[in-house]
Every structure is written in C-alpha cells, then in structure tokens.
Amino acid sequence: MKVIIILVLIILLTIGIVWLIDKFVPKKLKPVINIVLWALIIFLGYITFMSVYKEIKFNQLKVERYKNVINRLVDIRDSQLAYKDVNGEYAGDFTKLIDFVENGQVPITQRRDTLVLDEVKTKAFGGVETMMTLTLIDTLSYYTVKDSIFKGDTRYKTMADVGVGKEGAKFKLQAGKLDDIPVFEASVDKAIVLFDQEAYLIEKERQAFSIAGVKGPSVKIGSMEEVNTSGNWGKDLSTKE
C-alpha cells in the first residue's frame, strides 16, 4: 500500500510539473519535455497498476494454497485426537501417527452406572447396608481410523507432506504436555507455502494478524503453548470444519 501511495504522489507531482512547463517553459522546448514527462506518467501508471494487480493475484493464490494446507492440517488433528483416545497422549512424529491410522483400532465404548455395596460405610454404620454408584465402561467394538476419518482414501500415507508451495516441504509436528495435559502442534511457515512469490508480499503476509485469513508467520493447528486443537485461520478458509 505504501508503494502505491508513493507512486500516486509521484504521478500527481509529474502532472504538476507538466502544467508548470506548459506555463513557463519556452515553446520550442515544450514538445520534447512534454513527451518525456507524459511517457513518465504512463510508465508510473503502469507500475501502479501492476502493483495492485500483483496483490490481487497474490491474494487469490494464497487463499487457494491455504485451503489445501488447512485440509491436510485438519486430517492431522483428527488423527491425533484418535491417537490420544487410545494412547493417552499425542504422537510426536508422523511415522507413529501414520502407522496408527493404518493399523490402530479405536474402541467404541458405553458408560453405565451400577449400584454396589459400600463395605466401608456399611461397617461404619454398624452393618446397615449402604450402596454406592459405580460407573462402568464397556467396550462394544472397535473402528479403524483410516476407515472412520479417511473413508478408504489413502491420503493419510502422505500426511506429513505440505502438498503445495515448495517442493518436498513437510509439516513440523510437535507433541508434549502442558501442566500434565497432552498438547500437539502441526505447522508450516507461510514462506514455504508461498515460496515462489514476491519477497515483500510474503513478508507482509507473515505479519498478518487479522481475524480473517491466517494469523501469524505460519499456518498451524494445535498449540504447544496452550491447550488448544484449533487452527489459526478464519472460518472463511475452513472447508472441513
């Protein structure tokens, strides 16, 4: 935006110079000087147009790439949640996570309450039978993650791949605990997703913190700093949630 403002000011200044020349410069020199200045105005106008056009094309491209990245991050998050249900923690690398999706089974459970004799209270009350409620969890059956989440699609095998932007780029996957609560984070730097674009546009995008779009220097889901399994993007970019 600053570049565009500067160019517009230069154009206005040039137009002002043309007017001054028309008023005060001798007639013999006017044609040559006017041609040079109008050529400069046209050139600056072209640069201004291209600056705006580049930003429009960049915004279209980044949205398209972000949507692809977000779809993959949502797959990672859903797989991690299933992994945690079985293992009590999140996977810290893609080898474990992909193997779990391929071979792991998640139990389908049912909770039910039942009354049993509370022997401690019964003894304390002189033999008067006192009951207490126990919650039992029954395992009814199992399901595989690749069938429930991926519906037979084998895209989970390339879960670690960013898929767009820099060729061969991989997501960064972290897992651990925060105050004894399991947490995870999967992310990729925006500079990797948009690596073939203008450097100043990439840097501007890495500093974005608007509600819409993707906040911060990376596209990520989960967090290592807080208990959170959400992504850092606006609802306008989410296609799966």
Same domain for 105 and 35: no
The separation between CA 188 and the C-alpha centre of its own chain, rounded to angstroms, equals 8
Pair (129, 177) in one structural domain: yes
Q: Are residues 144 and 58 in the same domain?
A: yes
The pTM assigned to this predicted structure is: 0.71
Whether residue 75 is found in the same domain as residue 61:
yes
Instruction: Please give the Cα distance from 212 to 231 (Å, whole number).
Output: 12
DSSP string, 117-149: E-HHHHHHTTT---EEEEEEEEEEEEEEHHHHT
Integer Cα distance of 65 and 165 in angstroms: 8
User: Which residues constitute the domain of residue 24?
Assistant: 2-53
105 with 26, same domain? no
Per-residue confidence (pLDDT) for residue 38, from 0 to 100: 74
Interval 123-147: pLDDT, tens: 777 777 777 776 766 565 667 788 8
**Mean of pLDDT over the chain:** 83
Rg (CA), the chain: 31
Q: Please, which residues bridge with residue 143 across strands?
A: 106
The per-residue pLDDT for range 148-197, each reduced to its tens digit, is: 888 889 999 999 999 999 999 999 999 999 999 999 999 999 999 999 99
Total tally of structural domains belonging to the chain? 2
Shared domain check, 111 and 75: yes
Those residues whose C-beta lies under 8 Å from the C-beta of residue 171, and which sit 6 or more positions away, are 72, 73, 76, 94, 159, 160, 161, 162, 186, 187, 188
94's enclosing H/E stretch is helix 94-103
- Judgement on whether residues 128 and 38 belong to the same structural domain of the protein: no
